[in-house]
């Protein structure tokens, strides 16, 4: 039974019980009143008018007795109505209290969440009425807040870790040079420069992700032809793929046009291809293709032939600093934010990302963008 129906029943019950009590008591009260009038107010007398016979008549005090009986009857009816209303109101109060109790539990859970206890739950989510629906919504909100807080802490920890590594290398190298352990040569200066550039890349990538997720990243949206853009990215990374012994293949793409910022889409595809090259063994191919999906969407996919992604890691590969390989280091000069930037940029365009494993081996990373 819904809360609305319960409250309606409670109020109707008060009115009905009051009316029933008065209706049941009124005939008896009125009947008793008239009986008293006849018993106390009637007196024998002889009719004094001409032509009247001997009979019963009302004595001189009959009017007073009738008035008293009328007052007593009225008071009795009012008293019965008040008692009936009181009993019905008490019953309604009990029903209202039982109805309000889960709302109080929900209020306590909300106060706990407001004070930082994100584990608090309403405890009313198993109900089938509006309160249960509200409780389930509250529990879902609290769970999202808890997950967001955990993600925030994880990002801060990961960011501190990622920034600490190049800073430690810079500090150790400069200290060694100053102490005379290392010579003052270009090789050590290059190490410091590379680590400084990595720090700068991490900071820039964090800023890009933050702006995109906040919805304030400037985008110069225009119709962008997909096929020429994919071929352009392939030319840019061809030298790196060749050096790694990897064949980069761009499939024949139909004449697809997306509504997007061309530079940002190029950044997205380049990040996906770079990720595929890093996870593909020498001699393996990397494929890039695009297709039209239902609903006016273009799907751009990059498929590698590496070991694939563990099922437990698939939902997390686009998160900031997420490491599917815990042994990963920064020797490649990456910031650990490439796929997080992909997701942030794609979602800023109103699209979405997806990671899956190919049946024959390897991983498939897809981005979906709106058609122009």
Report the range of poorest mean pLDDT among 27-31, 96-100, 315-319, 341-345: 27-31
Query: Residue 107, SS3?
Result: helix
Fold of 221-370: Heat Shock Protein 90 (3.30.565)
Span 55-99, pLDDT tens digits: 444 455 555 666 676 677 777 777 777 777 777 777 767 777 777
Does the pLDDT at position 351 exceed 80? Answer: yes
Report the range of poorest mean pLDDT among 32-46, 96-110, 227-241, 242-256: 32-46
Does the pLDDT at position 131 exceed 60? Answer: yes
Model confidence band, residue 40 (pLDDT cutoffs 50, 70, 90): low
Report the range of poorest mean pLDDT among 36-40, 175-179, 275-279: 36-40
Taking residues 229-248, report their average pLDDT: 90
Asked whether the beta carbons of 259 and 372 are under 8 A apart, the reply is yes
Taking residues 188-207, report their average pLDDT: 82
Give me the residues paired with residue 231 across strands.
none
Query: Which strand (E) or helix (H) includes residue 289?
Result: strand 285-293
What distance lies between CA 240 and its chain's CA centroid?
Answer: 42
Sort 230 into a burial class: Cβ within 10 Å, 0-12 / 13-18 / 19+. buried
Span 271-309, pLDDT tens digits: 899 889 988 999 899 999 999 988 889 999 999 998 888
Taking residues 25-53, report their average pLDDT: 57
Taking residues 320-343, report their average pLDDT: 63
Q: Helix crossing, 338-348 with 186-214: angle to 10°?
A: 30
At 56 the pLDDT is: 45
Does the pLDDT at position 226 exceed 70? Answer: yes
Give the span between the Cα atoms of 338 and 128, in whole angstroms. Answer: 45
What's the maximum distance between 2 C-alpha atoms anywhere in the chain?
152
């Amino acid at each position: 039974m819904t809360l609305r129906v319960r409250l309606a029943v409670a109020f109707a019950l008060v009115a009905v019980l009051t009316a029933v009590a008065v209706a049941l008591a009124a005939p008896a009260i009125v009947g008793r009143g008239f009986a008293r009038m006849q018993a106390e107010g009637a007196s024998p007398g002889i009719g004094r008018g001409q032509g009247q016979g001997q009979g019963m008549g009302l004595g001189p005090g009959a009017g007073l007795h009738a008035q008293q009986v009328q007052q007593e009857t009225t008071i009795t009816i009012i008293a019965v109505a008040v008692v009936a209303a009181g009993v019905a109101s008490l019953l309604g109060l009990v029903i209202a209290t039982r109805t309000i109790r889960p709302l109080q539990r929900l209020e306590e859970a909300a106060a706990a969440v407001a004070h930082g206890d994100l584990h608090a739950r309403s405890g009313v989510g198993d109900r089938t009425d509006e309160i249960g629906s509200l409780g389930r919504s509250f529990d879902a909100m609290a769970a999202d807040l808890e997950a967001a807080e955990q993600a925030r802490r994880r990002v801060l920890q990961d960011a501190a870790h990622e920034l600490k590594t190049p800073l430690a290398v810079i500090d150790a190298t400069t200290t060694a040079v100053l102490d005379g352990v290392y010579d003052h040569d270009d090789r050590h200066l290059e190490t410091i420069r590379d680590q400084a550039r990595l720090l700068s890349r991490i900071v820039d990538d964090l800023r890009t992700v933050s702006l995109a997720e906040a919805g304030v990243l400037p985008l110069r949206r225009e119709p962008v032809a997909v096929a020429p853009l994919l071929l352009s990215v392939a030319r840019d990374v061809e030298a790196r793929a060749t050096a790694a012994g990897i064949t980069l293949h761009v499939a024949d793409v139909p004449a697809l046009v997306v509504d997007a910022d061309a530079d940002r889409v190029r950044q997205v595809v380049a990040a996906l291809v770079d990720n595929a090259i890093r996870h593909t063994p020498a001699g393996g191919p990397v494929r890039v293709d695009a297709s039209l999906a239902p609903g006016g969407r273009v799907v751009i996919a990059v498929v590698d032939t590496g070991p694939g992604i563990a099922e437990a890691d698939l939902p997390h590969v686009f998160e900031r600093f997420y490491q599917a390989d815990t042994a990963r280091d920064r020797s490649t000069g990456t910031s650990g934010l490439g796929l997080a930037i992909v997701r942030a940029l794609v979602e800023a365009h109103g699209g979405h990302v997806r990671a899956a494993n190919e049946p024959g081996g390897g991983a498939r990373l897809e981005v979906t963008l709106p058609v122009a």
